Structure 1
Amino acid sequence: MPIRRARNFPLYRTISRFVRDPLREILRISTVADGEVARLDLGASRPYVVTHPDHVQQVLRKESQNFVRDGTFWRPLHGLFGDSIMSEYDEWELSKRILQPVFSTKTIRSLSDHMALAINDAVRELEAPAREGRPIEVMPAMGRIVHDTVIKVLFGDKIRQAEADRLIPAMERLATSIAFRFLLPFVPKSIPLPGDRAFAEGLRVMDETLYELVERFRYDAGEGYDIFTALCKARMTEGSGLGDEWVRDNLLAMWATSTETTTVALTWLWPMLDARPDVTERLTAEVREVVGDEPVRPDHLWKLPYVRQVVQELLRLYPVGWIFPRISLGETNIGGVPVKAGQTVLVSPFLTHRLESVWERPLEFDPERFTPERNRTRHRYAYYPFGGGPHQCIGRHVFNMEAELILTAILSRFRPSLVPTDSPVEARIGATLRPNQPLHLTLRPAGAPR
């Protein structure tokens, strides 16, 4: 393949737009590059941005051993998650080997009834504001449902309500306060940034609570298919060399990646549906026909193909991880562009999923993209909301089931309508892509007259 130069976007041409709206600017750059390898000249850092499905496949799968989760852009996350499933090398291999059985088909099936029970209970709490005609704020409401569900998967029956009540706001604090460190990873810790104090307080509460939990089950992990039990049993295995910190690191990693991402994705669902009343009508009709006024059950889901398509399209526009930094261990080339050892490569499903050369009408919310026929003809790495290759999210099946159960449970009980906003709802860049303003829903009981 002939040697090519990356499309270069120098700092002096992009800085003012990056300062005003960094996400819009990186989208603009991706659109201009249109699948070519782009280079962001940010002064202190000059990463490559890779969006073409062929190039993404090379980085995440074909040369995954050369493109690793390390370097400057991983520094804030490693400081939070330590040597866990979110790390690299031997530490990642060990955590993945221990956690993988928790996400097997057999285990997920055993967890699904517990998830559905938790979701039905959490959604039922929305009945009071629905009866009163009182709008709910979307993100806190989705967060509460997600946290109640994830607690079952993470801890089974081993966590006390008081402990859960401490962990939930602490995780919210971590998720929102890490944004500046995530965007400016090259800034030394000695230089204070906005959010540092809130982050430290959230981390203190998480550490205290998780270590107390580990101590309580130090000598008897009990039984169960939850993640906490699997980690404790691994730590107790003779000669494992694993300590309390390793259990804490993995619990925090799994908690963060399974709550923040799901909450944010489900928050974006409602403005997407609001813009497509035809999709909402079809979706609601399918849910009512299959579920009726029953509590949602896992066995409902295989009869709800359009629910699945809506969730898949939601994840195309707002994938659970919007950017995956990698660093090259050795020299290679991507699409003919030379990449030296030590150089950073940014892979972004958020950008790939918005390329006009890959997707027709990419900014339009259209679940018809995900019919079985269209799925069969799509490039494997045109759509990768959970990453790909060895580091593909091991909890992706749990996420899909959880999101489908939550959506179905809400629509089987209520007719949601988005409260109009004074300004456009746009994404705000950070560790995840949260909306730039609070969103509110009005919920009418499903049986109420139109």
Structure 2
Amino acid sequence: MRDPVNTLAALARRSRGTIVRLPAGSTPVYLVSHPDHVQHVLRGNWENYQRQGMFWRPLRRLLGASILDDGAAWEASRGILQPLLTARKVGSLGEEMARAIDERVGELEVHAASGRAFDAGEELADLVNQTVIKVLFGGRLSPEDGRRLSPAYDKAARAVALRMFLPSLSYSMRLPGDRAYQEAIETIDEVVLPMIRRRHPRPGGDVLSALCHARRERGEGERQIRDDVVSVYGAAAESTATTLTWLWPALDRRPDVAAKLYAEVDRVVGAGPVRAGHLPELTYTSMVLRELMRLWPSGWLFPRMAEKADRVGGVAVEAGAQVLITPYATHRLDEFWERPLEFDPERFAPGAQERRHRYAYFPFGGGPHLCLGRPLFEMAAPLIIAAVLSRFRPILRGGGPFTPFPAGSLRPRRKVELVLVRARRGAA
């Protein structure tokens, strides 16, 4: 309970990836970390391992029945949302996204002028929020309402943590965080539902209008659209903001990596503005992002429930058992990674990853449930890094250590505070 993220990773490393049965009351709970076993659960026999059960119950109040569900609700949502979030579709919005990022990064100048430290998590969440809103919702959400969404998601993600790790407790027993979680959901609904209720006569260039049109053609109402919007926004915005928050402590510990990253941005983007056309040349930036997602994957826990009895790695898994898969643990297994606890982007140099087991690295999940927000992340995250570093050299304040908080998405337990210094071209 004090540190479930690192406890599960330590158990996985100690067992060398063999399956571990966890003490969790009457319901059997298994930690699955070996890539072969992860592949079996997420892909080979995925229909038997459903996103149901006690670990999912607290999240249902926020997410409802949508792309993060299973069965008919998941199939319907996937059929509608997948064509709207392909790499080609997202790519067509690249220049618009780059302009939105550059404009919002320009607002960080106030921090450089003051020289005062600020909360990087808050600023990055707002930056990502404003960018994703343009892609998902077009101009249908005011900046004021948009700025209510990100803090509400952060509040919900933190507040639900205790429920996730005490899943067998009845909701008649109040826990710290229950009220904050409900308040966060109410805020999200206050923003999302009025936006859905506005007229959407035909599908436009944004995801929301196309989603409303598709759902209403099927005779479905605002609640289903709300669940889709909440799930997709969370998958796109949360993963990007939380991953980028880990960047600054990582660069502080590895000034050699920071210097290479700065040099690439100087060469490719210069003084800016950043453009979507820069993405293919931001090779080292992509390597840094992949290593960030290896060590601190936003989606750090994928619970599943076995519908029927099965055998995984020779171990009998009972029907109804809970199976915990955590990329955070698998990405740290010594059997598949050299120096697994070190931050080293070179392990993702072109060609290096070809020698790796497909499920030794799976920050976006795997199998049919691969995260639909991946194309948004892969476009927005490197553009944000390049836009920030083309203008500034962030300096970490407060040292560390920065340990993970076991929220719905992985984030540092303490604030990451930065001071911004204006970049000088050619200077690391």
Which bin holds the TM-score, normalised by the shorter protein? over 0.9
Distance, in Å, in 1 between the alignment partners of 2:305 and 2:153 is 28
1:96 aligns with 2:78: yes
- Residues 335-414 of structure 1 mapped to structure 2, 5 A cutoff: 335-414=313-392
Q: Is the 8 A contact 2:291 2:344 kept in 1?
A: yes
Distance, in Å, in 1 between the alignment partners of 2:352 and 2:201 is 46
Name the structure 2 match of 1:231: 211
Per-residue deviation, 1:386: 0.3
State the SS of the aligned residue for 2:311.
strand
Q: Is the 8 A contact 2:27 2:320 kept in 1?
A: no
Deviates more, 1:41-50 or 1:381-390: 41-50
Deviations 1:316-360 (A, max 9, x none): 001121010011111211110011211111111110001111100
Distance, in Å, in 1 between the alignment partners of 2:214 and 2:346 is 44
Distance, in Å, in 2 between the alignment partners of 1:44 and 1:268 is 37
State the SS of the aligned residue for 1:39.
strand
Q: Is the 8 A contact 2:130 2:143 kept in 1?
A: no
Name the structure 1 match of 2:6: 24
Per-residue deviation, 1:307: 0.6
Per-residue deviation, 1:430: 2.3
Task: State the AA in 2 paired with 1:34.
Answer: R
% identical aligned pairs? 45
Q: Is the 8 A contact 1:327 1:342 kept in 2?
A: yes
Q: Is the 8 A contact 1:37 1:51 kept in 2?
A: yes
Q: Is the 8 A contact 2:120 2:418 kept in 1?
A: yes
Q: Is the 8 A contact 2:336 2:356 kept in 1?
A: no
Per-residue deviation, 1:222: 4.1
1:283 aligns with 2:261: yes
Per-residue deviation, 1:184: 1.8
- Structure 1 segments unaligned to the other structure (5+ residues): 1-18
1:438 aligns with 2:402: no
The count of aligned residue pairs is 427
Distance, in Å, in 2 between the alignment partners of 1:285 and 1:213 is 43
Deviates more, 1:84-93 or 1:423-432: 423-432
Distance, in Å, in 2 between the alignment partners of 1:320 and 1:43 is 28
Q: Is the 8 A contact 2:42 2:367 kept in 1?
A: yes
Q: Is the 8 A contact 2:136 2:208 kept in 1?
A: yes
Q: Is the 8 A contact 1:353 1:362 kept in 2?
A: yes
Distance, in Å, in 2 between the alignment partners of 1:183 and 1:297 is 42
Q: Is the 8 A contact 2:307 2:319 kept in 1?
A: yes
Name the structure 2 match of 1:153: 135
Task: State the AA in 2 paired with 1:378.
Answer: R
- Structure 2 segments unaligned to the other structure (5+ residues): none
Task: State the AA in 2 paired with 1:191.
Answer: M
Distance, in Å, in 2 between the alignment partners of 1:434 and 1:441 is 16
Q: Work out which of the residue numbers 271, 285, 298 in structure 2 matches 1:293.
A: 271
Per-residue deviation, 1:131: 2.2
1:114 aligns with 2:91: no
Per-residue deviation, 1:223: 4.1
Q: Is the 8 A contact 1:102 1:225 kept in 2?
A: no
1:428 aligns with 2:405: yes
Deviates more, 1:57-66 or 1:109-118: 109-118
Q: Is the 8 A contact 1:107 1:225 kept in 2?
A: no
Q: Is the 8 A contact 2:27 2:321 kept in 1?
A: no
Task: State the AA in 1 paired with 2:364.
Answer: F
- Residues 203-282 of structure 1 mapped to structure 2, 5 A cutoff: 203-217=185-199, 220-237=200-217, 240-282=218-260
